[in-house]
A and B are shown apart, each in its own frame.
Chain A
Amino acid sequence: MENFKTLIIILMSSVLVNNYVLSRFLGICPFLGVSKKLNQAVGMGISVIFVMLLASAVTWPIQYYILDTLGLGYMQNLLFILIIASLVQFVEIVLKKFIPSLHKSLGVYLPLITTNCAVLGVTINNINDKYTFTESMVSSLGCGLGFLLAMVLFSGIRSKIEESEIPQSFRGLPVTLIAASFVSLAFFGFGSIVENLIGG
């Protein structure tokens, strides 16, 4: 039961408290680039969850059964990024061939994920935090969900910004960043909420 509680805590804190985008700054590029429309934000978010889960499922055993047993820890970075890149390619090919409908809605976002630091970040963090395989999967799911949540929330805010009068030099990216700052500030409140929800 304690184990289950740990998993819930990992999940909640990776979704809310240590949100990858808003408090750890991983995956900022797609967050700012592809959050203009709600459907794009959702598509990107789901793709990221999918790739994160897949990448963690593959990289975890590779780290523990291959790299660590052979003493090749220093190959981690190189191997992980290659695995992520090929996974993304592979998934795209498979989707295109077997589930074209899904490829049509998600396929677009897949290539954008290859060099998304959130995906490489989550795989390396899972290893650094010494998570078990199950914990890694839960934390990847949480980080992905957190990313989706941030994207969806922010797409709503952006559609408002688009309609507002903004000083010349703030138009475009600056005002977007400042709006993101407020969203990030709002997420700070989750810190103690999570303790009260699960801690008791």
Chain B
Amino acid sequence: MKHNIKVVLSLTIISSVMALLLALTNAITAPIIKEHENSAVGGALKEVLPEGENFVSVDLSKYDLPETVEEAYSEDNGGYVFKLKTAGYGADLILMCGIDGEGVVKGVQYISGNETLGVETTYGEKFNDVTAENIENVETVTGATKTTTAMKNAVKDALNSAIILGGGSVDIRDEATILNDNLKTALPAAEGKFAEIFITEKKGNISAAYKAENNTGYVFILGEIFVATDNNGAVLNAVDDTAKTEVEAVAAGIINSTMTEIDISGFADMPTHVQKAYKTSGGNYVLELRAAGYGINGDKYTRSGEYIQIKVSITADGEIITCKTISQKESEGIGDACAKPEFYNQFTGRLESNYGEIDAISGATITTNGFKTAISSAFTAVKILKGGA
């Protein structure tokens, strides 16, 4: 019994004395630690914007900023620091981004997140001295596409936010939203629901055409102008006369075009790239092609084993009307650029003599060459088809 009391007593006394010592130390250190933490916030701001002075937190409720912006601080020289929250490979990737009064990025720092690749901590350096104009030139990192793309988009949001906070206005809508908004304005009856159509007939300077899903009409894009027509190709909205004439000249043809499949098995010399062929009511040809890009010809451990599927419409004289990538499984972040309009739209209006001059996809020679070979076979195919069975 006596022993037990001693045991309990000794443990209690030792624990209490230690607790007391701890409380004492804590009382001394707590205020100092608190001060450090406060100045650490100022320090973190200074780290991404070294020339910044007297940071003041900005009340975000007054502005319509991109969702990634969590906090914003303004400073005496007109610069801003943004705390950005985005999602990379894991959720909650937190960045600090400092932008000076001239709209130039002065520092991007990775604060925290669930990324595991290590690239996130150094990738921010690539944005030093970048502006809204040249941020597209900053390349994402292969193998860490998700993380780096998220970071790049967050920095873009910060640049836009700096313009908005500085009193300017900037379009913070993404490209798809902008397109849809324009379509909606041109043809309100469609209620914002459009489907792109694959143009198979002569199209003049029209770059793309959309059909209202509720069959209320069509919208043609002519440069920057959005021209709405009814189902017979008559222009509905107010556009200048040249645009009107230009659209009406081709609209009906595009709208009313029909196509009939041609049995290609009868053509002995038909290139193997051609999967299906159609003849349109306007006398043009539509070909479904498969291209052997990196998915087929790439490194045997990384290739996907899939062809690039391409749809192309081409006149009987061998001029490409429309070219579009339907599906592909090329390398993520490299060859998959062949699915972007910037790439395949280059073929519009090309002939057999000059299709080869298009810009290749950087870093994806196999993809580009495979794509080109398929296109060259389309010209051959049209010649064969024209010759008749």
Contact = CB atoms under 8 A, between A and B. Distances in A.
Whether A and B touch (Cβ < 8 Å) is answered with: yes
A75 interface: yes
B22 A2 contact: no
Interface stretch (B2-10, B114-122, B128-136, B357-365): B114-122
B111 to A, nearest CB: 13
Contacts of B144: 192, 195
A192 B91 contact: no
Interface string B89-123: 11100000000000000000000001011100000
Contacts of A2: 91
Contacts of B26: 74
Given A13-B114, A195-B117, A195-B146, A75 B22 contact: yes
A195 B116 contact: yes
A6 B116 CA distance: 13
A195 B23 CA distance: 44
Contacts of B114: 6, 9-10, 13
Contacts of B43: none
Interface centre among A2, A10, A74, A194 (most CB of B within 10 A): A74
A78 B16 CA distance: 12
B55 to A, nearest CB: 25
Given A195-B116, A195-B146, A9 B22 contact: no
Nearest to A73: B26
- Contact-residue bracket for chain B: 10 to 19
A13 B91 contact: no
B277 to A, nearest CB: 35
A61 interface: no
A44 B144 CA distance: 37
Given A2-B91, A6-B91, A199-B146, A192 B19 contact: no
Contact of B22 (A18, A78, A194): A78
Interface in B5-36: 18-19, 22-23, 25-26
A191 B118 CA distance: 9
B117 A191 contact: yes
A141 interface: no
Interface in B21-59: 22-23, 25-26
- The A contact surface, by secondary structure, is helix
B283 interface: no
B143 interface: yes
B90 A192 contact: no
Nearest to A195: B89
B19 A75 contact: yes
Contacts of B91: 2, 5-6
A192 B143 contact: yes
A17 interface: yes
Interface string A183-200: 000000001101100110
B89 A199 contact: yes
Interface centre among A78, A191, A192, A194 (most CB of B within 10 A): A192
A142 to B, nearest CB: 13
B116 A74 contact: no
A2 B25 CA distance: 42
Nearest to A130: B112
A191 B115 CA distance: 10
Interface in A72-110: 74-75, 78
Interface string B307-347: 00000000000000000000000000000000000000000
Contacts of B23: 74
Contacts of B18: 78
Contacts of B90: 6, 9
Contacts of B146: 195, 199
B116 to A, nearest CB: 5
Nearest to B332: A200
Contact of A17 (B22, B116, B143, B147): B116
Nearest to A196: B143
15 contacts: A2-B91, A6-B114, A9-B90, A13-B114, A17-B116, A18-B116, A74-B25, A74-B26, A78-B19, A191-B116, A192-B143, A195-B144, A195-B146, A195-B147, A199-B89
Given A10-B114, A192-B117, 15 more contacts: A2-B91, A6-B90, A6-B114, A9-B89, A9-B114, A17-B116, A18-B116, A74-B23, A74-B26, A75-B19, A78-B18, A191-B116, A191-B117, A195-B117, A195-B147
State the 7 A-B residue pairs at the shortest beta-carbon distance, nearest first.
Answer: A199-B89, A74-B26, A17-B116, A195-B89, A199-B146, A9-B90, A74-B22
